[in-house]
């Protein structure tokens, strides 16, 4: 194989497939990148057996062929090459990377041992704009769990019913939901996609409103197809948690507050809380006033914010991180918070229900 390509294009393509290269594995072959030059196309592939990425590299094919190289070393050398033009040429036992007056030779691996990505049936497809997909993931991904013992919580639930597209995440302490309406209606889909896959997708896609992502679903896999790249991922198997009861429309107290004001207040309060203390913030709603208090070993804070309130007064305590994570991804100037009582989860929701953020409170008697 011999190809000639632009350094920036090679760096870009390598960084994309590197996201699917395994860092910790008992199979060293998965620490590799496969490059294939045939039929006028240069394709690069990474595969860690849970997620696989293929992308097309722009360049000139001088001689067709393929090569399997150690991914991170190849990536580092490519990024540090001195010239804008890079030539990659294979021999029997090595691959030469030439740029200007610099030439580096790397050992190659047996490409026949590298696992090919499974063929995916493309009958079940959903099309969404890159901007919409990236924003929906960005506004919910903070609620997934990092605890591998609760596997379902480490992913996000994708639900499609006719033209309604909804993403849900939860970690046992909070729930995040984003919902949009698509241009077309589709068959019903309900799958759980690993958070790692979705995180990497948000880093790869351009996020343009006019650029689209085709999503294909099978019983065990999901395939994202966009630009010159495909991302293939295993699904997380199992029945997702039923959260409908927690999301009922019942509430006692409704508060409308400026988002920037409450965000700034909670952000300041969180500065007084050490991670080891896990000290909650107390929120006290009375008449047209919202009072936020915190007392910790580092100090105390007492702030007041003007609000619009319907219903009885309420006092509630919560983990400030959960509130901050939700407020960060809400774009509205004012937000509406619904409370049931001091022991029940409260939620932030807009009028059309396109976003819902539910937070489980802390017991007040534990902090008073």
The tokens for 88 are 């990659």
Q: What is the mean pLDDT of each run of 10 residues along the chain (368 residues)?
A: 97 97 87 96 96 97 97 96 97 94 95 93 92 97 92 97 97 96 95 97 90 95 96 96 82 97 96 84 95 91 96 96 97 96 95 95 72
Sheet-wide strand order for 125-129: 65-70, 32-38, 41-47, 51-57, 229-234, 221-226, 212-217, 125-129
Point out which residues pair with 104 in neighbouring strands: 97
Spatial separation of the C-alpha atoms in residues 341 and 314, rounded to whole Å: 7
Domain 247-366 sits in CATH at 3.10.150.10
If one counts every other C-beta atom within 10 angstroms of the C-beta of residue 290, the result is 21
Give the H/E segment covering residue 213. strand 212-217
Checking DSSP bridges between strand 125-129 and strand 155-170, what pairing results, if any? unpaired
Q: Which tokens go with 318?
A: 């919560």
Let me know: does 324 contact 357? Beta carbons within 8 Å.
no
Q: What is the pLDDT of residue 24?
A: 79
Which among 354, 267, 257 has a CA at the least distance from the CA of 307? Answer: 257
Handedness of CA 105, 115, 40, 77 (dihedral sign): negative
Contact (CB, 8 A) for 109 and 69: yes
User: Between β-strands 355-359 and 125-129, what pairing exists: parallel, antiparallel or unpaired?
Assistant: unpaired
pTM: 0.93
CATH number assigned to the domain covering 125-234: 3.10.150.10
- C-alpha gyration radius of the chain: 25
Residue found under tokens 């019903």: 188
The pLDDT score that the predictor gives to residue 209 is 87
Task: Identify the CATH assignment for 2-113 out of 2.40.30.20, 3.90.1170.50, 3.30.70.2190, 3.10.150.10.
Answer: 3.10.150.10
Q: Judge contact between 226 and 213, C-beta under 8 A.
A: yes
Domain residue extents for the chain: 2-113, 125-234, 247-366
pLDDT at 365: 66
Cα-based torsion angle of the residue sequence 30, 26, 239, 355 in order, rounded to the nearest 10 degrees? -60
Angle between helix axes 259-270 and 320-328 (nearest 10 degrees) is 140
Distance CA 267, CA 269 (A): 5
Residues 346 and 246: their CA atoms lie apart, in Å, by 9
Three-state DSSP class for residue 9? helix
């Amino acid at each position: 194989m011999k190809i000639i390509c632009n350094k920036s294009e090679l760096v870009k393509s390598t960084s994309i497939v590197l996201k699917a290269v395994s860092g910790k594995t008992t199979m060293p072959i998965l620490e590799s990148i496969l490059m294939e030059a045939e039929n006028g196309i240069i394709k690069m592939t990474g595969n860690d057996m849970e997620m696989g990425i293929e992308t097309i590299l722009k360049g000139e094919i001088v001689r067709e062929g393929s090569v399997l190289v150690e991914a991170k070393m190849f990536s580092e050398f490519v990024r540090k090459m001195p010239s804008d033009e890079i030539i990659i040429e294979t021999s029997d036992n090595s691959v030469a990377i030439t740029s200007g007056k610099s030439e580096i030779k790397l050992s190659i691996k047996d490409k026949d041992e590298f696992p090919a990505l499974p063929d995916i049936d493309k009958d079940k497809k959903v099309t969404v704009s890159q901007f919409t997909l990236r924003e929906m993931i960005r506004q919910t991904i903070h609620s997934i769990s990092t605890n591998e013992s609760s596997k379902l919580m480490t992913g996000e639930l994708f639900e499609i019913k006719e033209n309604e597209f909804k993403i849900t995440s939860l970690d046992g302490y909070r729930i995040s939901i984003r919902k949009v309406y698509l241009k077309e209606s589709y068959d019903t889909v309900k799958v759980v996609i690993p958070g790692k896959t979705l995180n990497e997708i948000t880093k790869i896609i351009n996020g343009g409103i006019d650029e689209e992502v085709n999503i294909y679903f099978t019983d065990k896999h999901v395939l994202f197809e966009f630009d010159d790249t495909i991302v293939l991922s295993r699904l997380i198997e199992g029945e997702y948690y039923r959260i409908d009861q927690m999301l009922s429309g019942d509430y006692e107290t409704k508060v409308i507050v400026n988002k920037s004001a409450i965000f700034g207040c909670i952000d300041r309060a969180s500065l007084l809380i050490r991670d080891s203390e896990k000290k909650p913030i107390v929120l006290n709603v009375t008449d047209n006033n919202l009072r936020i208090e915190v007392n910790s070993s580092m100090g105390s804070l007492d702030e007041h914010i003007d609000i619009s309130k319907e219903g009885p007064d309420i006092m509630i305590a919560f983990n400030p991180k959960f509130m901050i994570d939700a407020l960060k991804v809400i774009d509205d100037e004012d937000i509406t918070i619904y409370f049931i009582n001091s022991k029940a989860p409260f939620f932030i929701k807009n009028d059309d229900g396109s976003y819902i953020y539910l937070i489980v409170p802390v017991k007040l008697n534990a902090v008073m």
